[in-house]
Amino acid sequence: MQRYLDACEDKAFCFGTFDCCLFVADWLKVVNGVDVAADFRGRYKSAIGAKRRLTRLGFSDVQSVFKHHLKPIDIAYAQRGDIALVEFEGDLVGGIVCMNSVYCVTNIGLSVLEMSVVNSCYSQVLSALGGAHG
């Protein structure tokens, strides 16, 4: 996981290539070998474009995407590498749990937020694949 975070450290936020959802999707691809964002990646360039793409794919918001692909887990049981939805500037953004904090991509790039802002957590193992939490 540290290698993945290090590779993301200097990347600039960019809708459709490096944003909160694709940061999580890329991590899930590393862990599971499956690109859950294949139909999403590179097909929008703004927040409105991302919302439109989600709607076209049958989702109402980021949380509905997470619930579709991932198994919810109690925040208290989230382990290093699990996925979190956190509240940041009035929106829910995706992140990766790491040692009492969450790594997220915000408008300034890779950011570290406290666990106190976590709204919900999900297993890093894709639901269809089973695994440690499943």
- Residue at 131 is within a domain: no
- Residue at 24 is within a domain: yes
- Residue at 57 is within a domain: yes
DSSP labels, 62-110? HHHHHHHHEEEE-GGG--TT-EEEEEETTEEEEEEEETTEEEEEETTEE
Question: Could you list the residue range(s) of the whole structural domain that residue 112 is in?
Answer: 2-124
**Distance (Å, whole) CA 113 – CA 51:** 24
Question: Mind listing the pLDDT tens digit for each residue in 58-109?
Answer: 999 989 999 998 999 999 999 999 999 999 998 899 999 998 999 999 989 9
- Residue at 133 is within a domain: no
Write down the pLDDT at residue 73.
97
Structural domains of the chain, count: 1
**Distance (Å, whole) CA 125 – CA 19:** 21
- Residue at 114 is within a domain: yes
For residues 61 and 50, the answer to whether their CB atoms sit within 8 Å is: no
Contacts of 28 (CB under 8 A, 6+ apart): 34, 36, 69, 83, 124, 126
- Residue at 22 is within a domain: yes
CA dihedral 10→47→31→67, nearest 10 degrees, is: 150
Query: What CATH number has the domain bearing residue 15?
Result: 3.90.1720.10
CA distances (Å), 110 to each of 5, 62, 104, 121, in order?
8, 18, 6, 19
- Residue at 51 is within a domain: yes
For the whole prediction, is pTM greater than 0.85?
Answer: yes
